[in-house]
Chains A and B, each alone.
Chain A
Amino acid sequence: MSNWDRFLDSFFNLKVAAEYLPKIIEGFWLTVLLALCIVVTGLVAGLLLAVLRSFGIRVLNWLIIFAVDLFRALPPLVLITLLFFGLPAAGFSLTGFASTWLALSLVLMAFAEEIFWAGITAVPKGQWEAARSTGLTFLQTLRMVVLPQALRMTIPPLTNRTIAITKGTALASVVAVQEILGAAQAGVSFSFNPTPLTLGALAYLVLFVPVVLLGRWIETRFAWKR
């Protein structure tokens, strides 16, 4: 058998591929589900914190800033490990899926809060004053005048950050979730052939290449006006 044949037989073994493709596809949908859960909870929580911060309650703002700093400084895998392997010591256990969801949502929340807050503060003060002087309440001003302008500015950085964090779903394989990477690794150890890993890598590309391209497009489409 030539080297090339051996290479094909290892990484592109059709028999193994056919056997493990269904598992990888199941993993694919699990990754999609996990990613969607993280994006929704992370962004919503981040926006809520940014809005809370705009009330300017000093003690509350310190807490928010600390939480944001905390989840920006800790590696996501450390958070997942702490939730999955640490919490049972407190008599409280989370599934691998829930640990990853919670951990990555907290991380996305922190980054999203920073970005939303930056967007809110970038709206000129005159906008606030003008809106308030027309009789709008604080919340109305925030919702109808400030946020629409702020959110537009936050789209490019937010998209990139969200993509980067959702790629962290692969970390769930460490806590035994059968998402793409988990399913692929299981396949490798059963078949003793790396083809499932090739399939897994391809599945990630199918999922994330369009997302990365979308991110590129959004970056030029909504670029900051300098």
Chain B
Amino acid sequence: MTFDDFLSAFFSLDILRQAWPILLDGLVQTILLSLLVVPLGLLGGVILAVLSTIHHPLLRWPLMAWVDLFRALPPLVLLVFIYAGLPFAGLEVTAWQAVAIGFFLNTGAYYGEILRAGIESVPRGQMEAARSTGLSRGQAMGFVILPQAVRNVLPDLISNTLEVVKLTSIASVVALPELLFQARQAQSVTYNATPIMAAAVIYFILLWPVVRLLSRLENRQLAGRR
């Protein structure tokens, strides 16, 4: 195998030109998908985290079991279960719906754990002070506790969001035409690895700045702990 063969198998400009339109389509779908599942996961997470502040044994154990259940189940297993399993129960779901449900459950559990840690990191006095100024419990949570909680765990939230965006690639398994799915399609038609390589490069360009940012935030966090 010569170097030219290698180039034409992985970095063929010809193939790239042909595959570009559908890759671009896939990229748009990946971005839309991320814009759907990140807010959904955050919503699930906020619900779980706020519920966890109600210290009642009847709530605490089911919540913990819920979170651990969806942290133990690989996201792909959950997704396949919803997409391939639910139709047998008479519930037809589209790929988008399956992904939305799966990510709400899985990602919500992760965001929930992070936000719970954030809420616990806010001193108790904050809640007492907020309540004593006449804010209701909900208002105190929304205006006083959550903003500080989010700030305290911001690196973890960003890190999890990065993982969620990367995870959208599993939607290709249920034939949702996002970036990886389109790249696979193009690869199987052309029998050339260039489209997959191109998808990898697109993901990298898209996510590298986030990785760099995280690296910095994490180092700063560490310096504070020293």
Question: Residues on A close to B: CB < 8 A?
Answer: 6-7, 10-11, 69-70, 72-79, 81-82, 85-87, 89-91, 114, 118, 121-122, 124, 164, 167-171, 173-174, 180-181, 185, 188, 193-194, 197-198, 200-201, 204-205, 208-209, 211-213, 216, 224, 226
Contacts and interface: CB of A to CB of B under 8 A. Distances in A.
B85 A74 contact: no
A96 to B, nearest CB: 14
Given A10-B88, A73-B208, A122-B226, A171 B76 contact: yes
Given A85-B187, A197-B81, A201-B73, A74 B170 contact: no
A74 B193 CA distance: 16
A81 B80 contact: no
25 contacts: A10-B89, A73-B210, A75-B167, A78-B199, A85-B187, A86-B10, A90-B5, A90-B6, A90-B193, A122-B222, A122-B226, A170-B74, A171-B170, A174-B76, A181-B77, A185-B84, A197-B80, A197-B84, A201-B78, A204-B74, A208-B72, A208-B74, A211-B72, A212-B68, A226-B225
B72 A181 contact: no
B59 interface: no
Q: What range describes how many residues of B lie at the interface?
A: 35 or more
A89 B193 contact: yes
Interface string B68-111: 11011111111011001100111000000000000000000000
B77 to A, nearest CB: 5
B73 A204 contact: yes
A75 B74 contact: no
